[in-house]
Amino acid sequence: MTPRLAGLVLALMALTAPLAQAAVDTGHLQAELVAQTSAIAPGQTVQVALRQEIDKGWHTYWRNPGDSGEATKITWTLPPGWTVGDFVWQAPQPYPVGPLVNYGYSGEVLLPMALTAPAGAPVGQSVTLQARADFLVCEDICIPESAELELVLPVQAQAAEAAGRWAAPIARALDAAPKRADLTARFENGDQGLKLAVTGAALAGLDLAGSYFFPFDGAVIDHAAPQSIERGPQGLTLGLTASYAFQGPEPPEVLVGVLKAGDAFYEIEATVGSLPVEAAGLGPPAPRSSGGSGLGLPVALVFAALGGLILNLMPCVFPILAMKAASLAGHAHEVRGARRQGLAFLAGVLATFLALAGVLILAQAAGAAVGWGFQLQSPPVVAALCLLMLAVALNLSGVFEVGASLQGVGSGLATRGGLSGAFFTGVLAVVVAAPCTAPLMAPALGWALTQTPAAALLVFAALGLGFAAPFVALAFAPKLLARLPRPGPWMTHLRRVLAFPMYGAAAWLLWVLTLQAGPTGMARLLAAAIVLALAAWLFGLSQSRSGGIGLRASAAVLAGLALIATVFPTYPAALPTGAEPSGLVAELPYEPYSAERLAQLQAQGLPVFVNFTAAWCVTCQVNEQVALARQGVADTLAATGTVYLKADWTRKDDVIAAELARHGRAGVPLYLVYDAKGSAPVILPQILTEGAVVRALEAAAG
């Protein structure tokens, strides 16, 4: 054969080699062998791949199939001297199947392998490579399938370059496959469970929400158990559930697998040892698939502003609306003074929202699991707020005066005292609004608390602007203000009436403290309230007499003693760990929430309703009465076999805080409905109706 003819034959072989065998239909997938080059040279290593095109709704398995299944296998029949390496496994995805979780692939997947020709491969000839591929293909059922495959490659003298239809797809598969990076991984299995910590520069700037560990060994963790996430300044810590491998005499000393961090996948090898502090402390990020974690700053700002506007309609803010009304009525016919009052109120609102945001950010940076309303989880804070509400109510009742009376405000609208009062009203309005979470507000705050401090502060500022908007707008609307009656004796009667919502707020806070600290806490607060009332009376008496310095000093001492006795001593827990407070006359039967109990119920194939609530959350309590404590809901729970779990956040609980953050929430209420198939939970609206709950429970039961 002449050199020209040999070259022509080789070229024809190269063109026809990719068509040597069509894809094999195994029943639920198409399988074939493809190559990154159209030829190969003696001694050269090229990439070939097992390509699967899997039918819609079906999947095959990764190297560790998870709780069930079987990894894809390939068995080669090669000429002497030819070698093929192992699969370069692509990153898997989890497949929940009832109580189990498996790992695998759907759609199209290429598993590259390194093919090496022997140095003596005959140039000018084609080599036929044969292999048998075995798959377990699953949907609701699993079917073992196989394919006899061939790949024909011409052997040429020069090293082959990547070319042809499959060159780019194989290159992409190699590039996307998990790789080693400059990461340090440690794990420990202790009282807090199995913890896996990963640090390194490769994690910097990644969105760690949705991070996940896929072990190579199928026996080291419970694949179906949720994996908690905690961020750190230089990495993250995953909370895993150890499998039976850790219960033997020789537990694993190495955990090897794939870490999903953001959209990146890394191979890691973790050794047993102390966890680095750089891998924790910043709190759990919210997953991109839930809540407000994927909002982005512009949408979060809009949601926060609208949520703040709606917050004015929530029941916990009603007492403060009374104070707003009294203040505005006194300034209705002084346009300049009314505007100053509005701006002072706005300043108080913004300052308090930003201060709360700062405390939340610092607390999370220090490793605390906190969220919206966190201050009301502290019994001393609840007790102090109760005394503050009582003092405001006594002032409105006329026991003592602070600043000018409402009847004499006409000539002193722009005085410093009036502006201070408006500013304080804004501060108090925000503090009391903390027990409520308005619609749209929760996803905005959930997103903000996983972002940079600057973004979080902007979101809280937008929330404050929305919250203050109605009062400020009214203060700047002369035509509306002119419709209000002029100040006069009627305002004294209005003031006395408005004291009663404040008494109600104080009584409600006393009830919250009773749930947090029991009868001892209630007795202490009642005693302090009596002392404070005496101080208020003495102060009011001093205002009606000349030379009442002694009375005022006595009042100040008594008020200080009441505050000290309330705030500084430690409050005992009202209930043992795991117990749940009951403040309802008619209440659905429930179990205390725990991640372990939720996992058990899902493993049993039962639908679950989870209620994240708190005694100090007024929205939660209204939902309890209006939507949950209803016969229709009770009947639906019984008929569908749904288990009701209640996660009580009345007192600080890091586990519940982490779960809230995992679902993109910074506070309560949060209502989740898990179906019997183990799917992702459905998040119900924050304002419930009986019908909405019943429909969600029925849908979850199928």
Q: Do residues 479 and 557 share a domain?
A: yes
Q: Do residues 406 and 328 share a domain?
A: yes
Q: Do residues 77 and 148 share a domain?
A: yes
Q: Is residue 284 part of a domain?
A: no
Q: Do residues 34 and 56 share a domain?
A: yes
- Residue whose token pair is 């009391």: 432
Q: State yes or no: pLDDT of 370 exceeds 70.
A: no
Instruction: Quickly list H helices, 30-183.
Output: 167-176
Q: State yes or no: pLDDT of 19 exceeds 90.
A: no
The whole-number pLDDT of residue 295 equals: 61
The whole-number pLDDT of residue 460 equals: 87
Number of domains in the chain: 4
Q: Is residue 582 part of a domain?
A: no
Q: Do residues 377 and 343 share a domain?
A: yes
- Residue whose token pair is 């945001």: 357
Q: What percent of the chain clears pLDDT 70, i.e. is strictly above it?
A: 79
Q: State yes or no: pLDDT of 577 exceeds 60.
A: no
Return all residues near 299 (Cβ < 8 A) that are at least 6 apart: none
The whole-number pLDDT of residue 179 equals: 92
Q: Do residues 540 and 687 share a domain?
A: no
Q: Is residue 637 part of a domain?
A: yes
Q: Which residues pair with 31 in a beta bridge?
A: 24, 52
CA 565 to chain centroid: 37
Higher pLDDT: 576 or 270? It is: 270
Would you place residue 485 in the very low, low, confident or very high pLDDT band (cuts 50, 70, 90)? Answer: low
Q: Do residues 112 and 196 share a domain?
A: no
Buried b / exposed e over 625-640, threshold 16 CB at 10 Å, is: eebbbbeebbebbeeb
Would you place residue 450 in the very low, low, confident or very high pLDDT band (cuts 50, 70, 90)? Answer: low
Q: Is residue 573 part of a domain?
A: no
Q: Distance between CA atoms of 550 and 561, rounded to whole angstroms? A: 17
Q: Do residues 373 and 519 share a domain?
A: yes
Return the DSSP state at 562.
Answer: H
Name the nearest CA neighbour of 146 among 57, 56, 74, 88: 74
The residue from 147, 171, 195 where one domain ends is 171
Per-residue CA distances from 397 to 385, 401, 413, 452, 495 (Å): 18, 9, 22, 45, 7
Return the DSSP state at 39.
Answer: -
pTM for the whole thing? 0.45
Would you place residue 481 in the very low, low, confident or very high pLDDT band (cuts 50, 70, 90)? Answer: low
Higher pLDDT: 327 or 113? It is: 113
Q: Do residues 697 and 632 share a domain?
A: yes
Q: Do residues 517 and 374 share a domain?
A: yes
Residue 662 belongs to domain with CATH number: 3.40.30.10
Per-residue CA distances from 306 to 428, 460, 463, 467, 665 (Å): 20, 12, 8, 8, 17
Name the nearest CA neighbour of 461 among 376, 314, 358: 358
Q: Mean of the pLDDT values across residues 497-511?
A: 80
Q: Do residues 349 and 470 share a domain?
A: yes
- Per-residue pLDDT reduced to its tens digit, 49-98: 999 999 998 999 999 999 888 999 999 999 999 999 999 999 999 988 76
Q: Is residue 562 part of a domain?
A: yes
The residue from 123, 151, 171 where one domain ends is 171
CA 297 to chain centroid: 17
Would you place residue 41 in the very low, low, confident or very high pLDDT band (cuts 50, 70, 90)? Answer: very high
Q: Mean of the pLDDT values across residues 178-206?
A: 88
The whole-number pLDDT of residue 364 equals: 60
Q: Tokens for 553?
A: 């000093």
Q: Is residue 225 part of a domain?
A: yes
Q: Distance between CA atoms of 306 and 315, rounded to whole angstroms? A: 17
Q: Is residue 584 part of a domain?
A: no
Q: Is residue 574 part of a domain?
A: no
Q: Do residues 266 and 315 share a domain?
A: no
Domain that holds residue 612: 591-701
Would you place residue 308 in the very low, low, confident or very high pLDDT band (cuts 50, 70, 90)? Answer: confident
Residue 133 belongs to domain with CATH number: 2.60.40.1250
Contact between 409 and 417 under an 8 Å Cβ cutoff? The reply is no
Q: Mean of the pLDDT values across residues 304-318?
A: 75
Q: Tokens for 597?
A: 């109990």
Q: What percent of the chain clears pLDDT 90, i.e. is strictly above it?
A: 29
The residue from 246, 279, 312 where one domain ends is 279
